[in-house]
Chain A
Amino acid sequence: MTTTISPPEQPLTPTVVTRGPTTASRPGQRLFPDLLRSEWEKLRSIRTTFWSLAIAVVAMVGISAIVAAVHTSNSGGGFDALSGTFTGVLLAQLAVGVLGVLTVTSEYSTGMIRSTFIAAPQRRWVIAAKAAVIGVVAFVVGTVASFGAFFISAALLSSHGIHLSLGSPGALRSVIGAGLYLGILAVLAVGLGTLIRSSAGGIAALVGLLLVLPTLSQAIPTSIRGSVEKFLPANAGQAVFFHTDTGSLTPWIGLLVFATWAAAILGIALVMVGRRDA
């Protein structure tokens, strides 16, 4: 990233193309920041982004409210109520994951990817910039929605005599953890999209990884099932906000395992995108 390139010679007699002084001047060496800006512009100029994130927020806040409203029929302490607050993440993760997959696969399906790679042949940096931008956006939006879900849940539960605040054991960790889970998931989804390149295939892989894999694990012999299941991406990542007494990893270890999954999938994708024809 440190080689310097001298600007090409200006045309001899600029007539049609360069009217007046050209504003296409060569920037300094700021490849990755430039790619981040480019990917941010891509993300914010597509309606899919808005709708996916809106669905994620509504799902998290809305389902949290519903769960809290019906919670009173169950007998449960603060921790069950806390887990229930994040039920909406199960739906929000699909919206965020699909968005992550589409940020890559929609470029392949439309042909935009060729324009992208002609403007920036450093493909690995392009995909890394995509993952960074969507990851941060998903984390920020997810965390805001997570706080929203928590406070609406706490308000509804308090009218039924259940006390839940950010000071409750594990509450703040769960709220921020849910945001982190969605941010990491978006990065994982960019990796899947880059590997698979087709929207349908990428989304299928996402659903398979998040929802089908945990079900398939029922086929594993009971003796080792518990120790395998807890390392599956969704089970591991959700340990940070779903507190189950049996078998799951501890919250931060779980999130770390989930982040390792995301890093591995993105890593393979980064290797592959440099090797394949675009």
Chain B
Amino acid sequence: MNGQTASIEARGLTKRFGDTLAVDELSFEVYPGQVTGFLGPNGAGKSTTLRMVLGLDRPTAGEALINGRPFVEHECPLFEVGALLDPKAFHPGRSARSHLRCLALANGISGERVEEVLDIVGLAGVGDRRAGGFSLGMGQRLGIASALLGDPGILILDEPVNGLDPDGILWIRNLLRSLASEGRTVLVSSHLMSEMALTADHLIIVGRGALLADDSVENVVQASGHNSVRVRTPQTDELVTVLASEGLTTRKDDDGRLTVDSGSTDRIGELAARHRITILELTLLQASLEEAYMELTHDSLTYQAESFTSLQESAA
């Protein structure tokens, strides 16, 4: 992409836990200067993938590289990668300040920087309180503070908005956008398409451990092919007949409008004109990212509930 080199690279990454294939030959590249959303339903293997990228889990096969080398070969990794995997990855008996100092010292990072990151995430006032008493949102902020300690060029965050209140979600979203705009690489996992629609520029979508899509947000929406056209006409029945003869299926909405499942506005407009049908409204309904995601991951949900399937069908 634009001749840039990938900051994060997965090559045939595979992880098997006993009989379960958690990650299945996953290959992707993540580039700087944008927010890359790592999407998939729960159980799709997102966390396992990130853990392998960060050297916590050993891949069964394949490899993951950070700036061209496996994570574990970096001697002071906080300078290269900041990571938030788990909002509670600290000892509850330690203060936020001590927790950050413990991590900073391991990479020779100064106490001043600890104060800086406490300030950035807004925890300076509670730095000496036991982290065990923190809310989930404060825990996330502490995790982000530790990710920022080395002022790294790459940030990897696993479900950072999970369980946050709207303020916290907005804060994370803005932070991720500004980190990317500073030229950093931001890889953020989520099972929430709606959140990624607002945050990400690029999407890597996985289901059952395998890659489903690796493309820009717009392309993912377009490729879903789920565009439909909404028509309002006083001659509803006539239009339905005309469209049906052309092989177009329609649905009648509650308010009397028609939704045509496929076809372009041009074609429908011309058909209507040829049959002298009055058109009052003709709108292209673009598939939302949510629908594109649903379509992509539909077959790969590990824990698919029956009610969920029917919900999805009624929405489609």
Contact = CB atoms under 8 A, between A and B. Distances in A.
Contact of B109 (A24, A115, A121): A24
Nearest to B80: A8
With most chain B CB atoms within 10 A of its CB, the pick from A1, A5, A19, A48 is A5
Interface string A1-37: 1010101111111111111001111111111001101
Interface stretch (A39-47, A85-93, A202-210, A230-238): A39-47
A245 interface: no
Interface residues of B, number: 59
B182 A277 contact: no
B175 A277 contact: no
Contacts of B120: 16-17, 19
A34 B153 contact: no
Interface string B143-160: 000101111110000000
The majority secondary structure among interface residues of chain A is loop
Contacts, number: 166
Nearest to B56: A278
A116 interface: yes
Nearest to B174: A16
Contact of B89 (A29, A30, A112): A112
Interface stretch (B67-75, B199-207, B237-245): B67-75
B107 interface: yes
Given A24-B113, A110-B91, A120-B106, A8 B179 contact: no
Interface in A101-143: 106-107, 110-112, 114-122, 126
Q: How large is the interface on A (under 10, 10 to 19, 20 to 34, 35 or more residues)?
A: 35 or more
B250 interface: no
Interface in B77-115: 77-81, 83, 85-86, 88-95, 98-99, 101-103, 105-110, 112-113
A38 interface: yes
Contact of A12 (B67, B80, B183): B183
Shortest Cβ-Cβ A-B pairs, 8 listed: A27-B108, A11-B182, A45-B98, A38-B106, A38-B105, A111-B89, A121-B72, A23-B112
5 contacts: A8-B80, A13-B182, A27-B76, A45-B94, A119-B107
Given A15-B181, A38-B103, A42-B91, 15 more contacts: A3-B75, A7-B79, A8-B153, A11-B184, A13-B182, A13-B183, A16-B178, A16-B179, A17-B178, A35-B106, A37-B105, A45-B102, A115-B90, A118-B78, A119-B103
